[in-house]
Amino acid sequence: MENIKICVYAICKNESKFIDRWLNSIKDADCICVLDTGSVDDSISKLQKANVIIKQKSFDNFRFDVARNESLKLVPEDIDVCICLDIDEVLMPGWRKAIEKVWDNKTTRLRYVYNWSLDNHDRPKVSFYSDKIHARHNYKWVNPVHEILSYQGENEYYKTTDELIINHYPDNTKSRSSYLPLLELSVKEDPNNDRNTHYLGREYMYYGKWEEAISMLKRHLTLPKAIWKDERCASMRFIARCYQALNNNKEAKEWLKKAILEAPYLRDPLVEIALLYYKEQNWQNVITYCEQAKRIPINYKTYINEVFSFDETIDDLLSLAYYNIGNKEKAILYATKALEINPDNERIKNNLEIIKNS
């Protein structure tokens, strides 16, 4: 569909070091709108020089859905397509043509490839479909954090394209301390929200709150709407991680086996249990689960994906396991394969030399 009007909108707070890159990636947009929530660097002046529609607003009790909705209000009414693009994200070249190719009069939302994590060579490590491109009307953001778009109209029509790609380059120096209280608020507001319950359990895990994480993740598994097997599998894996942290490997293995049964088409629980057996130096089980994982060829595009499932980890584990049971030939084979995936890994390079010279 040609002659459509496209607007990119965002929220901003102290994003000066990313703004030039962000603006360059969206120069083909018809309109750019930004809600600044309290920058003290030169973010605002940079955006003003670029003729961005900008508004400043501070919040006593910040929540992402409210800020997103305020930023959406800045988008002109006659815009056809809205792209919610954080300032640490980059639209890859050709994005406008990709939208024009698939968008039609019935389309309300677009799925696209989102590279959430990339390696030092800009190769995707975690990639999945996201859907923050939408029609101007009948959408609102909901949830205090990990906010999502909620359609308010009668019929929502999705299109999907692999030709539009967004890369994510996060600022790892930024604190995520606000996430935990906002997730607790999310679950308090909607105790039956399976997605946020899963996220809260995961956040407790990140904070080392092992017992709270186990309790919340188990609760997630009991919710009526918790039916997506990938996410259920992830909750089981996270429960296992918490039990490992509590030095209860027996219970951890039970939960990982449950995770394998829950989603037998995913590598993630197989690799995770192999990693646990590696810590215990149970080399035969490392080999068993890694080889089982390698028989799964598809890396499904969901946010649940683990980096270790399709990087060099499996081949590295196999190399170490075969070396320790005395199979030098296979140890060399898998160390070589691991290096083909990640030629910058110095430890594996050194291991390969040690194996060859042993």
pLDDT in tens, 89-143: 999 999 999 999 999 999 999 999 999 999 888 888 889 999 999 999 999 999 9
Strands 81-84 and 124-135 come out as antiparallel
Check residue 8 and give its pLDDT: 98
Cα(30)–Cα(21) distance, integer angstroms: 17
How many Å from the N-terminal Cα to the C-terminal Cα in the chain? 64
Strands 109-118 and 31-36 come out as unpaired
Contact 248, 255 (CB under 8 A): no
Instruction: List strand residue ranges (DSSP E) for 93-157, in order.
Output: 109-118, 124-135, 139-142, 148-151
Question: Where is 276: in which H helix or E strand?
Answer: helix 268-279
Q: List pLDDT tens digits, range 32-71.
A: 999 999 999 999 999 999 989 999 999 999 999 999 999 9
Q: Is 25 helix (H, G, I), strand (E, B) or coil?
A: helix
Cα(6)–Cα(82) distance, integer angstroms: 6
Handedness of CA 285, 287, 288, 291 (dihedral sign): positive
User: C-alpha angle 160/166/167, rounded to 5°?
Assistant: 145
Enumerate residue ranges in the chain where pLDDT < 70. none
Q: Which domains does the chain have, with CATH numbers?
A: 6-168 (3.90.550.10), 179-357 (1.25.40.10)
Cross-sheet strand order for the sheet of 6-12: 53-56, 31-36, 6-12, 81-84, 124-135, 109-118, 158-168, 89-91
Check residue 243 and give its pLDDT: 98
Check residue 175 and give its pLDDT: 76
Check residue 177 and give its pLDDT: 80
Check residue 273 and give its pLDDT: 98
Please give the structure tokens belonging to residue 264.
């037998």
Question: Where is 83: in which H helix or E strand?
Answer: strand 81-84
Cα(46)–Cα(24) distance, integer angstroms: 12
Distances in Å between the alpha carbon of 257 and those of 90, 217, 233, 240, 274? 38, 16, 10, 10, 11
Instruction: From 260, 262, 265, select the one nearest 274 (Cα to Cα).
Output: 260
Check residue 2 and give its pLDDT: 78
- The radius of gyration of the chain's CA atoms, rounded to the nearest angstrom, is 23
Check residue 178 and give its pLDDT: 86
